[in-house]
Structure 1
C-alpha cells in the first residue's frame, strides 16, 4: 500500500468507523448494548483501527528512511570519487602532461645550457607531482591544507609555466574588485582557469591566450557579479566534440561552475579560436 493511500485512510477510516458504529448501534444493537457501553466501545474501536493503519504507515516510513540513508551513503561515496578524480586531474594528470612536454623539449635541446635548463624544469615538475600526490593523500585523510598562494600569484604562476613550456604568450586583464569572490570561489575559479589553459596547450594550436576578469553590475544590482573569460587564437573547438565521452576536462569545469551557481559556456571565438566564459556572483 502506498504512502498516499495510507495517509487518506488514516484521515477517513476513524470518521467512517464512528459513523458506522453509531448507525449500527442505534438501529440494530441498541436492545443488546447499553448507551454507556456503546459510548465506551466507540473510542476502543477507533483506537484499534487507527493503530492498525498507523503500524503500516510507520513501517512504510521506516522503509523510506532506510532507502534514503542508503542513497546518502551512495551519494557520499560518489562525491568522494569525484573529488579524488578532480585531485588527480587538477594536479597529477596535468603535471605529467607538462613533464611529457618538457621531455620533448629536452630531446630538441641543442646546447648544454638548454639541456640544463630543461632538466631543471623537469626536476621541478617531478617535485610538483610528488607534492600533488602527498597533498591528495592528505586530502583523503582530511589533513589540513597548506597555506594557499595569493590569487594573482596563482594566475601568474599558471601563465608563466604555460609560456615556459609551450611558448604560448599569455596576457592577464584582471579588473575584478577585491572582495567580489570568496576564498572557496577563488580556488574553484583558479581550477577552471588552469584546466582551460591546459586545454589550450593540448588542443588549440594557439599562439596567444588572454585571461579577462571584470565586475558586472546593472543599476546597482548584484554588485559582486563578475565575468571571467579565457580566449585563445587557435583552431577553435567544435561544439559536438566538447561533449564527447572522455572529455573530462570540460565536464569538470562545467561541474565546478554549476556547483557554485555560475554559468559556464565554451564556444568559438571571432574571428578564430575558442573562448571559455564563466559568469557568477558572490552569494
Structure 2
C-alpha cells in the first residue's frame, strides 16, 4: 500500500463509517432506538473503527516515514563518503603520487645507492597504498545491511588465496548478532589489514582465521606460518598498518595482541566479557 493510499484511507474511513451508520440508523433502526442513544452509538462505533483500522494505518505510515528517513540518512552518508573519497583522491593521493615520482627521480640520481632514499620510497608507497585502500573503502555503501557482512568477511581469504596461492582455513563461530554495526566495520577492516600484512611481509604459505564467542565477549584470530612480526614491530615507525590496527582496537575497547606461537605469527583481537 502506497503512502498516498494510506493518507486517503485515514481521511475517508471515519467519514464512511459515520455515513453508513446514519444510513442504517435512519432506514432500519429509527423505530427501535432514541435519538440520544443513536448519537451515543455513533460515537462508540467511530471510536471502535478508529482503534481497529486507523491505528494500523498510522503504524504503517510511521514505518514508511521511518524507512524514508533511514533511506535519506543512508543516501546522505554515501554522498558524504563519496565526497571524502574524492577529496582524498584529488588531494592526498595525488600529492603522494607526485612525491613518489620525485623520490624515484632522486633515487635514480644516486643510482639507488642511498639506503635512506630507498626506505623513504618504500614508506611513501605504503602510505599511498593505505590512502587508496581508504578511498576504496569509503566508496562501499555505509549501511551494514547493504552488503552481506559474512560474505564480505569470507571473501577476504578467498581473494587472498586467488591472488597469492596462500591457503586459508576458515573457522567462524561468532554470530553477527554478537557485534554492533560499528564493530562489524572495524573488525572487517582489522582482518583485512592483517591479511594485507601477511600478503606483503610474511612469505606465508598457509593461514588460519578463527572467531568464537567467549561468554559475553568474543575473540578473532588470524595466524600464518610465515616469518611475520613480533610485538616490537608495532613501535617501528614504518609499520603504519600495524599501528592503525592497534589504534583501531584501542578505540573500540578491544585487546590487541601480535605474537609468535609455535612457529606461527598470531594476530588476535579480543573483546572481554561485559560486566
Which interval holds the TM-score relative to the shorter structure? 0.3 to 0.5
Find the structure with the greater CA-based Rg: 1
The normalised TM-score by structure 2 is 0.48
The normalised TM-score by structure 1 is 0.46
